[in-house]
Amino acid sequence: MAEGHGLLTVAWTIEGATNPDDCSVSRAHRMDVYVTDDADGRVVGEFTEACDAFGTSIQLPPGRYSADSVLLDPMGHERTSIIELGSFEVRGDDRSSFEVDFPPGSFHSDLSVSNLKRYASKGETR
């Protein structure tokens, strides 16, 4: 980690689990975390990690930030609603951690993991 920078760690689950198959079933290819500087509203960055990693760490210089997260499909389209992680402050070597779950209601349409598994058990496709 760069000297004087803090670390934002984001861990996520899909419907309460860290099952890599759930990323495939729900067509969620990657997780994006958007970090915004609270002082001026400037987007600090969009940080991407593979969905099935279920966690990422982001180095940030000192400041006050807000972060949002969303699961995206392979084409970059949102698979879920954007979930606000909230505000946090980085001072020196601070570490801030957030955990986020993507419940069935956060998925667009009826393509949540639980719905897709139910369709598959009935021989249906979506």
pLDDT for 72-81, tens place per residue?
999 999 999 9
pLDDT for 11-63, tens place per residue?
999 999 999 999 998 899 999 999 999 999 999 999 999 999 999 999 999 99
pTM: 0.83
Confidence at residue 85, expressed as pLDDT on a 0 to 100 scale: 95
Core vs surface per residue 72-96: b (16+ CB within 10 A) or e? bbeeeeebbeebebeebebeeeeeb
At the topology level, CATH places domain 6-121 in Immunoglobulin-like (2.60.40)
Q: How many other C-beta atoms can be found within 10 angstroms of the C-beta atom of residue 119?
A: 14
Amino acid identity at 115: N
Of the candidate ranges 20-29, 68-77, 87-96, 108-117, the one whose mean pLDDT is the lowest: 108-117
Residue-range domain boundaries for the chain: 6-121
